[in-house]
Amino acid sequence: MNLLSIGASYRTADVAVLERLSISEPAVPDILQKLLAQPYVSEAVVLSTCNRVEVYAAVSGFHGGLGDICNVISQYSGIPATELAGHLYVHYGEAAVRHSFRVSSGLDSMVVGEAQVLGQLRDAYHAATETDSAGRLLHELMQQTLRVGKRAHAETGIDKAGQSVVTAALEVAAEHLGDLQGRSALVIGAGAMGALSVATLTRTGVGPLRVTNRSVDRADRLAEAYGAVAVPIEDLATVLGEVDIVVSATASTEPVLTRERLTAALAARSGETPLVVLDLAVPRDVAPDAADLPGLVIVDIDRLAASRRTNPAAAETAAVEQIVAGEVENFLGWMRGAEIAPTVAALRTRAEDVVTAELRKLMSKRPEFTEEQRADVSRTLHRVVQQLLHSPTVRVRQLAAEPGGDQYAALLRELFDLDVPLAAQADAVPEIGGKA
Given this model, what pLDDT does residue 427 score? 43
| Span between the terminal Cα atoms of the chain, in Å | 15
What pLDDT does residue 434 have?
Answer: 40
Give the tens place of pLDDT for each residue, 78-121: 999 999 999 999 999 999 999 999 999 999 998 888 889 999 99
How does DSSP classify residue 184?
Answer: -
The mean pLDDT value for 387-406 works out to: 79
Listed residue (325, 334, 327) closest to 402, CA to CA: 334
Q: Could you tell me if 206 and 180 are in contact, meaning their C-beta atoms sit under 8 angstroms apart?
A: yes
Check residue 53 and report its DSSP letter.
E
pLDDT tens-digit series, residues 126-146: 999 999 999 999 999 999 999
pLDDT-wise least confident of 9-13, 133-137, 410-414: 410-414
From 50, 72, 299, 332, the catalytic residue: 50
Mean pLDDT (whole number) for 154-174: 85
Whole-number Å distance between alpha carbons of 429 and 26:
31
2-160: what CATH class?
alpha beta
- What 8-state DSSP symbol labels residue 404? T
Closest CA to 335 of 137, 182, 186: 137
- Whole-number pLDDT of residue 222: 95
Confidence at 317, pLDDT banded by 50, 70, 90: confident
**Mean of the per-residue pLDDT values of the chain:** 89
Do the Cβ atoms of 97 and 3 come closer than 8 Å?
yes
Q: What is the three-class DSSP state of 332? A: helix
Residues 280/283/286/292 CA torsion (nearest 10 deg): 100
Q: How far apart are CA 51 and CA 53, in angstroms?
A: 7
Q: State the CB neighbour count (10 A cutoff) for residue 127.
A: 20
β-partners of residue 246 are 186, 277
How far apart (Å, rounded) are the C-alpha atoms in residues 128 and 56?
10
Return the closest-CA partner of residue 279 out of 303, 308, 311, 261. Answer: 303
**Whole-number pLDDT of residue 305:** 84
Nearest partner of 8 among 125, 90, 122, 102, judged by Cα: 90
| DSSP code per residue over 358-381 | HHHHHHHH-TT--HHHHHHHHHHH
Q: Label residue 6 by pLDDT band (50, 70, 90).
A: very high
Instruction: Return the pLDDT at 425.
Output: 47
> What local confidence, expressed as pLDDT, does residue 280 receive?
94
For the segment 13-20, the average pLDDT, to the nearest whole number, is: 92
Q: How many helices (H) and strands (E) does the chain have?
A: 18, 10
* Measured distance CA(25)–CA(48) in Å, rounded: 8
> Strand, helix or coil at 310?
coil
Mean pLDDT of 420-436: 46
Give percent of the chain with pLDDT exceeding 90: 67
| Distance, C-alpha 376 to centroid of its chain | 55
Do the strands 185-188 and 245-248 form a parallel or antiparallel pair, or are they unpaired?
parallel
> 165-306 sits in which CATH class?
alpha beta
For 99-117, letters b (16+ CB in 10 Å) and e give: bbbbbbbbbbbbbbbbbbb
Number of Cα atoms under 13 Å in the Cβ half of residue 25:
14
At 272 the pLDDT is 84
Distance CA 219, CA 144 (A): 34
For residue 432, pLDDT over 50 is answered with no
- Give the E-state strand segments of 147-237 in sequence order: 185-188, 209-212, 229-230
Summarize pLDDT for 229-282 with one digit per residue, the tens. 999 999 999 999 999 999 999 989 899 999 999 999 999 988 889 999 999 999
| Residue 428 reports pLDDT greater than 60 | no
The pLDDT assigned to 423 comes to 45
pLDDT, one tens digit per residue, over 365-396 is 999 999 999 999 999 988 898 888 888 888 87
| 313: confidence class by pLDDT, cuts 50, 70, 90 | low
Specify whether 70 is catalytic. no
- Strand partners for 54: 7, 47
Going from the C-alpha of 429 to that of each of 328, 343, 422, 426, the distances in angstroms are 16, 11, 11, 6
C-alpha span between 135 and 240 (Å, rounded): 47
Best mean pLDDT range from 15-19, 303-307, 431-435: 15-19
In this predicted structure, what is the pLDDT of residue 421?
A: 65
pLDDT digits (tens, 9 = 90+) for 184-222: 999 999 998 999 999 999 999 998 999 999 999 999 999
Residues of the chain with CATH 3.40.50.720: 165-306
Q: What is the pLDDT of residue 413?
A: 82
* Residue 60 pLDDT greater than 50, yes or no: yes
The residues, ordered by sequence, that sit 6+ positions from 48 with a Cβ below 8 Å of its Cβ are 21, 22, 23, 24, 28, 54, 124
